[in-house]
Amino acid sequence: MPGKIRVLIVDDSASVRQAMTEILESDPAIEVMGTASDPYVAARRIQQEVPDVITLDVEMPRMDGITFLRKLMAQRPVPVIICSSLAEAGTETAAQAWEAGAVEVILKPRLGTVQFLQESRIRICDVVKAAAHARLRQFTGRPVPREPEKKLTADAMMPPPLVGHNAMARTTEPVICIGASTGGTESLRQVLQVLPAAAPAIVIVQHMPEKFTEAFARRLNGLCEMEVKEAEDGDTAMRGRVLIAPGNHHMLLQRSGARYYVAIKEGPLVSRHRPSVDVLFRSAASHAGPNAVGIIMTGMGDDGARGLLEMRKAGAHTIAQDEASSVVFGMPKEAIALGAADRVLPLDMLAAEILRVGNR
């Protein structure tokens, strides 16, 4: 059927190949063009027909997935999604995959509750669609049908902000709220790595599975002057610290006097994600108002667009990453279309803007 995103599944497990095929083909926008049991079989398949997206396991016979990814990106770049269970052990697999050129890293689907399987299906299909749009190579421009599932808004986690509430009175310390998805892991590294140790407090929602966020935060902590950690319930958002929302949990900004801290909560998918950028941004609009800065970065979909508008209406300074520097210009585009962004800036100007508005 013309217009579908063609996916090649590479995994040595026949049951995983079958499960992935069923998950992907449940979406009318996606077609599984083939499967391969190892990288050598995959290479022969790619010679016959180049897929739009590849899902790739890490542990396989004859050649591991990371090695194959490096060879593929050097010879014939194709958007690749690493689909691995290794992250459950808290390994550095995700960091290695992103450095080798993967567009995204996701957990393998596994048996569980009906809710888990449904949320896993939504996540996998959305990531494949985002990968097909990635700037890794020229996208064909074929239309992708809208997802049929109903999307919950931030109302599922908290009420809309009350503009003018005294909890938003100005304090001396600002808080920077950032939301990102596909392409965000390396983009965030580029921003955070150049910030000084005394930069303003930063709280981040990066769409990422559970346990990946811990390894991601640990990696950034070793590269950055600021302290970077996976957020825990009650952590203080303070100058010199970056808090990253833990995978599979929402993160809300809260305030006690002049102190900002985060609350880590369970809850439904919001804007098809958990953690959700909309949830973080709404909480910032409610509890920080003009003390906050909202930044929406690369990613597919519209998570964060409405929340950024709420932040702007509450007096926050709001920024969207520009199209040229975004891996996927979905989330920023939606925010700009709503009139949520005060400024639209390239990736290499975000750090300077954080310091400018955070130190005034």
Report yes or no on 151 lying in a domain: no
Residue 207 annotated among the catalytic residues of the structure: yes
Q: What's the mean pLDDT when you consider all of the chain?
A: 86
pLDDT in tens, 67-95: 999 999 888 889 999 887 765 544 567 77
Residue 20 Rama label (left phi>0; alpha psi -120 to 50; beta) = alpha
pLDDT digits (tens, 9 = 90+) for 120-166: 788 889 889 888 888 764 333 333 343 444 566 777 666 777 655 54
- Would residue 38 show up in a list of annotated catalytic residues for this protein? no
Give the CATH number, domain containing residue 89: 3.40.50.2300
Question: Is 80 a domain residue?
Answer: yes
pLDDT: which is higher, 154 or 7? 7
Q: Does one domain contain both 189 and 307?
A: yes
Segment among 115-129, 190-204, 314-328 with least mean pLDDT: 115-129
296 plus 165 within the same structural domain: yes
Residue 52 appears among annotated catalytic residues: no
**Percentage with pLDDT > 90 across the chain:** 57
Q: What percent of the chain has pLDDT over 70?
A: 86
Same domain, 190 and 339: yes
Confidence of residue 50 (pLDDT cuts 50, 70, 90): very high
Catalytic residue among 207, 249, 287, 317: 207
Contacts with 15 (C-beta within 8 Å, 6 or more apart), sequence order: none
Q: Residue 41: give the domain boundaries.
A: 5-133
Are 212 and 324 within one domain? Answer: yes
- Whether 88 is in a domain gets the answer yes
User: 88 and 164 share a domain?
Assistant: no
* 225 domain residue, yes or no: yes
- Peptide bond before residue 200 is cis, with ω within 30 degrees of 0: no
Asked if the structure places residue 140 within a domain, the reply is no
**Considering 38, 235, 302, 303, which one is annotated as catalytic?**
303
pLDDT per position as a tens digit, 241-254: 999 999 999 999 99
CB atoms within 10 A of CB 268: 12
Tally the domains of the chain: 2
In terms of domains, do 40 and 121 share one? yes
147 falls within a domain: no
> Which of 120, 181, 187, 271 is the catalytic position?
181
pLDDT at 162: 65
* Same-domain check for residues 245 and 128: no
Is residue 144 a part of any domain in this protein? no
Task: Please report whether residue 142 resides in a domain.
Answer: no
User: Does residue 349 carry a pLDDT above 60?
Assistant: yes
Domain finish residue from 133, 148, 182:
133
CA pair distance 157, 209, nearest whole angstrom: 19
Whether residue 70 sits in one domain with residue 211:
no
CATH number at residue 329: 3.40.50.180
Is 351 in the same domain as 203? yes
Instruction: Select the more confidently predicted residue: 55 or 158.
Output: 55
Same domain, 105 and 183: no
298: tokens are 């690369």
Residue after which a domain boundary falls, among 116, 133, 150: 133
